[in-house]
Amino acid sequence: MYNVSEKVNLVDIAGRAGVSLSTASRALNNAYGVSAATRTRVLAVAEELSYVVSPEASRLAGGSTGRVAVVVPHISRWFFGEMLAGLEEVLRSADLDLLLYNIDTLDHRRHFFERLPARRKVDAVVVLAFPVDEQERKRLELMGVAIVAAGGQSASYPFVCIDDHIAGRQAMDHLLFLGHRRIAMIAAETPLAPGWPKTNQRSAGYYSALEEAGIAPDESLVRTVDWGGEEGAKAMGGLLSLKDPPTAVYAHSDEVALGAIRTIRRAGLRIPEDISVIGIDDHPAGALADLTTVHQSVREQGAIAGRTVLAALKHEEFDPAIIVPTELIIRSTTAPPRRRGVL
Amino acid sequence: MYNVSEKVNLVDIAGRAGVSLSTASRALNNAYGVSAATRTRVLAVAEELSYVVSPEASRLAGGSTGRVAVVVPHISRWFFGEMLAGLEEVLRSADLDLLLYNIDTLDHRRHFFERLPARRKVDAVVVLAFPVDEQERKRLELMGVAIVAAGGQSASYPFVCIDDHIAGRQAMDHLLFLGHRRIAMIAAETPLAPGWPKTNQRSAGYYSALEEAGIAPDESLVRTVDWGGEEGAKAMGGLLSLKDPPTAVYAHSDEVALGAIRTIRRAGLRIPEDISVIGIDDHPAGALADLTTVHQSVREQGAIAGRTVLAALKHEEFDPAIIVPTELIIRSTTAPPRRRGVL
DNA sequence: CTGTTAGCGCCTTCAG
DNA sequence: CTGAAGGCGCTAACAG
């Protein structure tokens, strides 16, 4: 098999350029103390031989790893993939490599924090959208590298996320504005993050909106489910079996909302005529279902997290708590409620 | 900052265990020639000091990198995320790290193949669901490592994928069986992979099914769009503006089908009464929309690709061409056509 | 079975 | 501005 890279080392290019090893090294790393002429020559030779440093050797001799670990739950979900895309883009632009660790079960999660497979392999780790507990935090710090969180607040690390309370309010206020008073909430909670502030805050938005509107919360209208469309569908079934069903449903996420919609349609009811539905996230599948929702720029959050990492690595200043704005997107799953008698 | 790992090296554990450096090394790598007693002792010390090898040093001294690069277009799409999840899981179980390269534009793609950022950094690269051209193949081989493809056939590398022709036939045969004769196709093509066998084969399934049913293809019923729901929605608009619209639509993917559904609904038509819709993939959003589709196990394909990588790295035998079966999933977007006059 | 000895490829003082 | 020399932490022959 034809293979160049295995053979071309710094010595080679040094020899070919007629300089010493160290000069070649300096030139490549554009360090001080190399004449422009020499540098150009070295660079040319390197280019010609298509040389690339051995990251291993470089690192061993005192450099950084040039890698960052990204820990993400459920990589196949749009939200995380999108965030990862934003993150990857800025890391790549800085020539950093991304080591991916998917943590989609409690077992994998434990494994990750106990074994710390990324130890000694990265310059930083970013935790995507799930809360690390106290113990995990300690393990992480054993790695002795920069840590940043994205997609959720963190007490311990710099983070970037949306304000879930506000997002919840935007959804609820829209429903309230339309005239709904009997509004259900399907709260989503992932087993990986029970009690994660995200879900709580989205719930808090529900309660505070109701209170402000002078409506007493009815706990029979509140369902908490494991994150996901199928779960949302099930919860909606429960809601529809109430003697006095809601005229509108606020779901913590678009996936959950989509599940609810399926149940409503299967029940022969129409949206939004009979029941309004709103979600949060602005998931592309939601757009395809004409779902009213609250938009958040997920990819941008990933990118910001990436920039935070870069700043941290360069020991530059950075904002340790960035909140990205959200925005109501009205599509066609919400409308004013019909009179009760008409239904 | 408290930090253990930076300090504990092989020498330390060797000294603490009262053995030489090389013995310690052997013990840790469970190589031949170490008494059980010694090994146990070394391992114990290593555990106690929570030692981890420096991958850089290890690699430099002759080992492998313990990393594999994964090149994926559009990481935020369910299909790729799912595949990645399967892949990550098996790689992780083999203690291999996954270096992620997202290639979502032509520019990034060119950048990747020209600069080969993964050069000298990995033991293998897996190309996820996009075709590498001849030139790219040459660049890739410069890396001198194992290469495997997943999610699409490859002439040059071992691969795992579904049979797109069969998948297309399963969708079409279902429609035909229901009695449809005027069937539209919305073909999806990603700019990243024009002419990628996948799309072609899914199209081939359309034509071969029609032919076998004795139906002359009507090119006005065939639309080719860039991959994605919004594009599918647009194409459906064109189809509905025909003097004689189709009674059923076969979309190359669930996303495209979902887009088509939105357009049909917005036009005030009902599914499946007025028009049937079928997709391919079994995307979770499709399930939430009760979309009839052809299922493929994406995660499993990723896992198989992972196992193929492992086998290749161990120089074991492996099947260089694995086809994963697909299966028709009937939900509620397909039904027999109504009589024309009734519409 | 175990210890000694060379490097792996590069960066970084240190002299010139 | 440049070259020589000493590791970085580990593995892989070699000897014992």
Report the nucleotide nearest the CA of residue B9, measured to C1': D9
pLDDT value at residue B340 = 57
pLDDT, block means (10 residues), chain A with 343 residues: 57 87 83 80 86 86 89 94 96 95 93 92 92 90 91 86 97 98 94 67 96 97 95 98 98 98 97 98 97 98 96 92 97 90 46
Of B1, B119, B288, the CB nearest to A141: B1
Question: What is d(CA A322, CA A152) in angstroms, rounded to the nearest whole number?
Answer: 10
pTM > 0.75: yes or no: yes
pLDDT value at residue B171 = 98
pLDDT, one tens digit per residue, over B189-224 is: 877 766 566 668 999 999 999 999 999 999 999 999
Q: Are A269 and A275 in contact (CB under 8 A)?
A: yes
Q: Are B6 and A146 in contact (CB under 8 A)?
A: no
Interface test with chain A among B141, B288, B291, by most A beta carbons within 10 Å: B288
Question: What is d(CA A301, CA A198) in angstroms, rounded to the nearest whole number?
Answer: 15
Interface test with chain A among B76, B111, B128, by most A beta carbons within 10 Å: B76
pLDDT value at residue B4 = 45
pLDDT value at residue B82 = 96
> Does the distance separating the beta carbons of B52 and A116 come in below 8 Å?
yes
pLDDT value at residue A71 = 96
Interface test with chain A among B7, B72, B100, by most A beta carbons within 10 Å: B100
Nearest CA in chain A to B142: A3
Exposure b/e, B298-318, CB count within 10 A at least 16 = b: bbebbbbbbbbbbbbbeeeeb
Q: How far is A259 from chain B (nearest CA, A)?
A: 6
Rounded CA–C1' distance between B31 and D11, in angstroms = 11
Residue numbers in chain B where pLDDT is lower than 50: 1-6, 341-343
pLDDT value at residue B343 = 46
CA distances to A98, B132, B151, B196 from B141, in Å: 22, 12, 20, 21
> Does the distance separating the beta carbons of B65 and A60 come in below 8 Å?
no
Burial class of residue B233, CB neighbours in 10 A (0-12, 13-18, 19+): buried
pLDDT value at residue B199 = 62
pLDDT value at residue B273 = 96
Query: Which residue bears the tokens 């950094």?
Result: B121
CA distances to A76, A196, B166, B267 from A221, in Å: 31, 21, 46, 33
Nearest CA in chain A to B234: A288
Q: Are B80 and B129 in contact (CB under 8 A)?
A: yes
Chain A within 8 Å of B120 (Cβ-Cβ)?
A: yes
pLDDT, one tens digit per residue, over B156-175 is: 889 999 999 999 999 999 99
CB of B342 nearer than 7 A to strand C:
no
Question: What is d(CA B259, CA B248) in angstroms, rounded to the nearest whole number?
Answer: 14
**Sheet with B248-251, edge to edge strand ranges:** B222-226, B183-189, B248-251, B276-278
Rounded CA–C1' distance between B256 and C5, in angstroms = 65
CB of A60 nearer than 7 A to strand C:
yes
Question: What is d(CA B161, CA B198) in angstroms, rounded to the nearest whole number?
Answer: 10
Q: What's the sign of the alpha-carbon dihedral B306, B116, A92, B154?
A: negative
pLDDT value at residue B22 = 81
Exposure b/e, A80-106, CB count within 10 A at least 16 = b: bbbbbbbbbbbbbeeebbbbbbbbbee
CB of A34 nearer than 7 A to strand D:
yes
Task: Show the tokens assigned to B208.
Answer: 């071969």
